[in-house]
Structure 1
């Protein structure tokens, strides 16, 4: 395991890699306002054992990467995708298997369109297709309104829990309690929820960042234009879509819609999975990813 800072334009991005540098690289891209250490090391170890050099990194404005005043230095979700390319450059990786979760899945789709020469395979999970108005759907869900495309909106009960992020941070214990409650809501109802496990995860995240304040700048980033959804039919990277059967933010059939939008894409649904990475889901999730990456090794 080796840490390094890589440069992307005017920002520095913290990153680290695991495993044998001679193995095929696999880049993990986390979701919005989440640092790279949100990927549990216990899960990463399964990917390393499966024959990959695994790289994770902190998005700008998270973890140990550069923080800047968004009002003075605005950026787009497409810029965040370019950051992922800079991470590959910084680690000397020409082509990699890319795995993106939630917003990371959005970035993965942009990479497959704009930087396809850098991808060996693409795995996107717990996410929506580029043509889906996720930001607008969150607003519609909060008002009890339907989507414009017939796909389900996020669960408004979960959005109410996420809204607590705007509350002032009081102390470490109360902040950990709030984050654990958030993960409980995101995890769904099928798998037993281990509060102590998610408290350990969030303690790592807080210690890594050196701050109790949860990042929020990505909510201000300019979204990928919805018209780019039509471009998905031009993706040539072998793509796996993983749908969490209990995902409250991108519930079924979002994964099916995305898989049908990309030629040759395969869909794997993990029926008990929510919008989280509990240890109970690590093995089946790693198995699905490794089956995909080995198929196109």
Structure 2
């Protein structure tokens, strides 16, 4: 784990693999620390041939914190943070792998900073702008998480916060395939590493959003990874991305929710990402 200090911002990052190898930057989803990109995932992706970098967004893990409900940053700042990480490691061009909100950040970087982006992998994401037509909304269970009052949480009670973090993930899982033991393990790591979980669970969603970009303007080679069982962004979102981005490829998954690809998909997902990186380096 490395603490980066860039432009007055503290960002926690973890780099695995040789600094001389092609760089893959993993960008987590909203309210997620780097812990959701597990070390096992990173090492399996690297396969001894890539350097894989993961980092904590602001208000997650060990990165800079704001008071709950009052983020001192915008969505555009979260985009720039990814560049700050690359700059801190002296990386000119990287292969971006973004999950959900992280996919939106990857799209913004690929359009706004094409010279820094070697390839793009968009996982369970949605078009960040452009003419994508009408797309279906989330399942009722996911939509309810935005409208129902949050439960009363004692943020000083570690076990209660971990239980809550697990429950937050539950409606985003593939129906009948919620791996509670695995999610609880990751949530426990995240809660123990994060200075203020109340901020972590809210601030990304109340920060001023970044300006939209048209995915059709992405010139970097692109892989879209999307599950037919995603309850947050139904598979039509992935199909729209693949249709909009010139030359992109769509990899459909089954039995996966709105999540970083779990271990049972790695034999399909990781070779596809490594192939894209190899062809684009």
Compute the TM-score of the two structures, normalised by the length of structure 2: 0.90
Matches within 5 A, 1:3-82: 3-49=1-47, 51-69=49-67, 74-82=72-80
Question: Is 2:263 the partner of 1:284?
Answer: no
**For residue 155 of structure 1, what is the aligned residue in structure 2?**
139
> Is 1:223 the counterpart of 2:221 in the alignment?
no
Correspondence for 1:198: 183
Match of 2:258 in 1: 275
In the other structure, the counterpart of 2:225 is 242
Does the 8 Å CA contact 1:126/1:244 hold for their aligned counterparts? yes
Partners in 1 of 2:150 and 2:17 — Cα distance? Answer: 38
Residues 78-93 of structure 1: pairs in structure 2 closer than 5 A: 78-93=76-91
Structure 2 match to 1:185: 171
In structure 2, C-alpha distance between the alignment counterparts of 1:50 and 1:96, rounded to whole Å = 17
Q: Which residue of 1 aligns with 2:126?
A: 128
Deviation at 1:113, TM superposition (A): 0.9
Alpha-carbon contact 1:28-1:56 (below 8 Å) kept = yes
C-alpha spacing 1:111/1:194, structure 2 compared with 1 (3 Å): same
Alpha-carbon distance in structure 1 between the residues aligned to 2:258 and 2:69:
30
Distance 1:218 1:212 in 2: 12
**Among residues 116, 127, 130, which one is paired with 2:114 in the alignment?**
116
1:167 is displaced (CA, Å) by: 2.4
1:6–1:15 CA contact under 8 A, matched in 2: yes
Query: What are structure 2's unaligned runs of at least 5 residues?
Result: none
Question: What RMSD over aligned residues (CA atoms) do the two structures have, in Å?
Answer: 2.4
Inter-CA distance 202–78: structure 2 relative to 1 (3 Å threshold): same
- Change in 2 beyond 3 A, CA 1:120/1:83: same
Deviation at 1:60, TM superposition (A): 1.2
* TM-score where L is the length of structure 1: 0.85
Q: How many residues align?
A: 277
Q: Does the CA contact (< 8 Å) of 1:169 and 1:212 recur in 2?
A: no
| Alpha-carbon distance between aligned partners in 2 of 1:21 and 1:186, rounded to the nearest angstrom | 35
What is residue 144 of structure 1 aligned with on the other side?
A: none
**Any idea what the Cα deviations from partners look like across 1:114-157, whole Å, max 9, x if unmatched?**
11111111111111101279xxxxxxxxxxxxxx9421001121
